[in-house]
Amino acid sequence: MKRYPHPIIAKEGWHYLAVMVGSSMLVTWGVGWAFASPFWIASLFVLQFFRDPGRAVPNNPDAVLSPADGRIVAVEKVNDPYLDREAVKVSVFMNVFNVHSNRSPVDGEVKGIWYFPGKFVNADLDKASLENERNAVWIRTPDGIDVTSVQVAGLIARRILCYVKEGQQLARGQRYGFIRFGSRVDVYLPADTRIKVGIGDKVYATESILAELK
């Protein structure tokens, strides 16, 4: 397995973790463990939320990899609203206990990026796909196949982070973004894609295969 280029704690969480651990230490020093225990519990929550473990990339070059950890909440034929085409949408819902680092589902070039402000309804609901704050990344594979990966904010998520730019090359499993505190990722695929997951399945970013393009 190739060494993962990021520490086990996502860089997005360093500030939060430092603040929580620092506060916990101050309260412990000032008034003792009994009063400080809620602060330490909160620190442990922040630590687990921002964990960012390395992942092994499957060998199958035709595989569409899960862009996030979580549970499959939608597999359906829809119109891709970003590329205006018939598509299959596969949605991964992340709760607060999942890893929230987002990774590219395929190899390819970033052809477009669209950000939309919106609501913050429960990301487990299907209407969140088109009503919530979201950021869509259009990726075209070396074979000319278009894949749209959409980060969607959730009920308490208030910050979508996307680090790629138009024209950039992405590799399968490459880290490209992060969503803080609960959310979902929708993947729009060609209508004839062979889907490999079903509603309720648990998936893991990079390691789980959502579909095959050929």
DSSP string, 108-147: EEEEEEEEE--B---TTSTTHHHHB-EEEEEEE-TTS-EE
- Kindly name the residue from 43, 91, 183, 208 that is annotated as catalytic: 183
CA–CA gap between residue 139 and residue 53 (Å, rounded):
24
- The whole-angstrom separation of Cα 72 and Cα 93 is 6
Question: CA–CA distance from 147 to each of 39, 93, 119, 142 (Å)?
Answer: 42, 18, 24, 12
**What 3-state class would DSSP assign to 22?**
helix
Active-site residue, 183 included = yes
* Catalytic positions: 183
